[in-house]
Structure 1
Amino acid sequence: MLEDIGFSDHFPLLIETENAVLGRRPYRFHFKAWWTLEESCEAEIRKLWEESSSSFLNRMVNLTKGLKVWVGKIRHNRNREVNRFNKRLKELNCEERLEENLGEIVEVKLHLNVKIDKEERYWEQRACANWLQMGDKNTAFFHKYAS
């Protein structure tokens, strides 16, 4: 009787058919390091987390959706502020050099550097991700970075 009991080498296959778009991978959420440089990051995460009181998975989904909206606003505002600081810096450089102007030039440059640093942090993380995905292959990407 024990001889009739066998173990199958077959495994069940789970196929998810809902929300599947042919030919496209689903969006994968990635936390970006530059978000932590924003003063409102922690408060935004806390607010989004506390707004949803359902299961853990639903809270995570709501958090990712909310952070995508928040990041869009932050990036739009940052681009607008960088343009405003650049314009003000050009105006100050064209004016006569007085003590008040020099102080404002330093302040504008400081704010501009902070904004640019956040953008650089984004591109550093992006370059690292690209390197991890494609850098170890013997490709044009690797040769470009090696030379």
Structure 2
Amino acid sequence: MVRLKCGYENGIDVGSMGSKGGLSLGWKGNSLVKLISFSSFHIDVEVNDTDCRNKWRLIGFYGNPDVRGRSESWNLLSHLSTNNSLTWVVLGDFNEITNSFEKKGGRRHSERQMLTFRMALKGCKWNDIGFRGHSPNIRERLDRGVATLEWVELFPGAQVDHLTHSFSDHYPILLDTMGMERFEYKGHFRFEAKWCLEPKFEDLVKDWWIDSGGDIPNRLEQLGQKMQAWSKSRERDEKRKRVCLEDRLDYLYKQDITDDILAKIAEAQLDLNLEANKEELF
């Protein structure tokens, strides 16, 4: 088995349905994971995280590839969300996109399908946690990670990476709960290109430089520290902004279509595109 070959002696495996589906979760250490439930479309576990001294919930999810069975997938997510007292994160192939800007080329997704998916995520109080690397499936962002705001606050530096794969049309998802905190702990400084998309960033840099003191190397070090502190505080604001924009789009799509509503939808979509561009650039 692939899981055992990778060195994960403990695990849960759910067989595929013909050539589709199939789930596997592996881990090291007997006390790390506690199984809550599983099906052909999900594995639900409780993680005993000794690093942060908290327990949280992880769900590996596979959305029904058949559009006609997609509502059953969202019903499953809703059912799982009602039986929970822990903060949680969900990773997997949802087989659906939330907005048209997550798809490039090809046949357009039904607005009703995307709205139903957004409402399912909203009903479970899950927020997209973004990603780094190439967008999965080249044209459609079907693979993703979503989490409750409590989980995001527990792991403010968490990052989702889409890794490359040689023979699959999906990209493996890597969740790093430490994320940028790992780099900061090691003392590394990374200038993020997405910072330049912030309208006030240049003025902030000028102010930080004026406020710094000492010789050039010391001033540069102070500047880097201020950039990192500013970036860390922005992460949570950006996640909340995405949630607000998605909620606004959901509201606007439910209104009677007028020129004014269409203009507001276009404005909200542009703002969401900018947030998506930041993630792509990151």
TM-score, L = length of structure 1: 0.62
Larger Rg: 1
| Aligned AA (2:204) | E
Aligned residue number for residue 174 of structure 2:
none
Q: State yes or no: 1:30 paired with 2:195.
A: no
- Given candidates 196, 216, 223, the residue that maps to 1:63 is 223
Q: 1 CA distance for matches of 2:200 and 2:279?
A: 16
More strand by share: 2
Identity percentage over the alignment? 27
User: Shift of the alpha carbon at 1:53?
Assistant: 2.3
- Given candidates 199, 221, 237, the residue that maps to 1:39 is 199
Q: 2 CA distance for matches of 1:107 and 1:26?
A: 40
| Aligned AA (2:217) | L
More helix by share: 1
Aligned residue number for residue 118 of structure 1:
278
Q: 2 CA distance for matches of 1:50 and 1:36?
A: 19
Q: State yes or no: 1:107 paired with 2:241.
A: no
Q: 2 CA distance for matches of 1:44 and 1:86?
A: 28
User: Shift of the alpha carbon at 1:26?
Assistant: 3.1
Residues 110-134 of structure 1: per-residue CA shift (max 9 Å, x gap):
1111111111110xxxxxxxxxxxx
Unpaired segments ≥5 residues, structure 2: 1-184
Work out the number of aligned pairs and report it: 98
User: Shift of the alpha carbon at 1:47?
Assistant: 1.1
User: Shift of the alpha carbon at 1:99?
Assistant: 1.5
User: Shift of the alpha carbon at 1:73?
Assistant: 2.4
| Residues 47-58 of structure 1 mapped to structure 2, 5 A cutoff | 47-58=207-218
The alignment's C-alpha RMSD in Å is 1.4
Aligned residue number for residue 17 of structure 2:
none
Q: 1 CA distance for matches of 2:234 and 2:259?
A: 33
Q: Which has the higher contact order (CA 8 A, sep 6+)?
A: 1
Q: 1 CA distance for matches of 2:186 and 2:201?
A: 25
Q: State yes or no: 1:72 paired with 2:232.
A: yes
User: Shift of the alpha carbon at 1:39?
Assistant: 1.0
Moved over 6 A (4+): none
Q: 2 CA distance for matches of 1:74 and 1:40?
A: 13
Q: 2 CA distance for matches of 1:26 and 1:81?
A: 30
TM-score, L = length of structure 2: 0.33
| Aligned AA (1:115) | E
The SS at the match of 1:31 is coil
